[in-house]
Amino acid sequence: MRILVISDYDDNYNAVRPEGELFIGLHHAGADVQVMTYGNTPFAQKFRDAGMRVIDFHPKKKFSGEAVARIRKEIIEQDRQIIHLFNNKAIINGIRAVRGLDVKVVTYRGYTGNIHWWDPTNYLTHLNPRVDAITCVSGAVKEVFDRQLFFPKEKAVTVSKGHNPAWYQDIPTGDLGEFGFPKEAVIVSVVANARRMKGIPYLLDAIELLAKESPAHFLLIGRGLDDPATLATLDKKGIRNRVVFAGFRKDVLSLVKACDLSLLPSVKGEGLSKVLLESLFLGKATIMTNIGGNKGLAIDGESGIVIPPRDPEAMATAINSLVDNPDYRKKIGTAGQVYIQKNYTVERSVKELMAVYEGLLGE
């Protein structure tokens, strides 16, 4: 089978790795996979090293005659049977490029929000009749499409983004000394960018509920988390001394590994949280909310702790259960690592995507 993938494999190597390794796996399984992306990035070179053809191009805007012509040229000259489109710039231009061509169109969706059958803009992308399949990163994303009126439910299919345990074996343990935590602190990592869906206000409410003598301290890693409103809330609640902001970090995995446990207080929107997957693969005891995109990442009380979203009391209880009991913390972390290594593999993802392609081609 002959596939053209159009995606933005940018310089954030760890962020794009699960998707990129999926297509390297397909290549090794015998598929002819060519990738259209920015050609000067680390993962573009990894595609080349694997023996794959890389087209150094990516659409710069959603409506681009140049992009349409370039994509169409590649489809015709390279005799592509399938194009797989991974962002709105690729999807809108890719759909226009296949007009009149006998090629299957596949799109990708990794987020549960903003899909509505009554929204005309959605028909420029995933709901366009020219789209033959939508690969959804989780069952929660697929359910969003299945609920749309007039939508053929067989189009949306779940293809997980598996990880390889080997990716995490050589991650160095970060040095938390720069953050000035007390020697007795039990440190909770929270990795997120400043978006409402991440549920940071509920985290602050939960921290306020912790006993003053609790050793729990929090390392918040990501862009924009230390905004004035958050800092004011910390001061008002009297918990400023418990929270340290690391900002954006390229060594995020090393920092998570150095912390004692991991927490993500998301309230909605997650398709499949890479942060949670990474924490689990690193063997960290992990607290997550039971929103749809997190379903199946852990068994509550066995391989992770799963709490309701927007529930500071439940969050505080979960934090206390791990902070106050190091043996339980270690047990949960080890069990979570075993569970995620078994259920979220690259090999599984390759098989799932291969089945989608074979179904489209009638193989």
Q: Which residue has the tokens 């390889």?
A: 164
Determine the Cα–Cα distance for residues 344 and 257; give it in Å rounded to an integer. Answer: 19
Determine the Cα–Cα distance for residues 276 and 136; give it in Å rounded to an integer. Answer: 18
What is the mean pLDDT, run by run of 10 residues, along the chain of 363 residues?
A: 96 88 96 97 96 97 97 98 97 98 97 92 97 95 94 94 92 96 97 91 97 96 94 96 95 96 92 91 96 90 96 98 96 97 95 97 86
Q: For residues 339 and 300, is the Cβ–Cβ distance under 8 A?
A: no
Looking at residue 78, what is its pLDDT?
97
* Helices then strands, each counted (H, E), the chain: 12, 13
Looking at residue 272, what is its pLDDT?
85
What's the sign of the alpha-carbon dihedral 29, 31, 32, 34? Answer: negative
Using H for helix, E for strand and C for coil, what is the string for 288-356? EECCHHHCCCCCECCCEEEECCCCHHHHHHHHHHHHCCHHHHHHHHHHHHHHHHHHCEHHHHHHHHHHH
Determine the Cα–Cα distance for residues 49 and 14; give it in Å rounded to an integer. Answer: 17
What's the sign of the alpha-carbon dihedral 52, 58, 62, 66? Answer: negative
Looking at residue 15, what is its pLDDT?
84
**For 195, what's the count of Cα atoms within 13 Å in the CB-facing half-sphere?**
12
pTM of this prediction?
A: 0.89
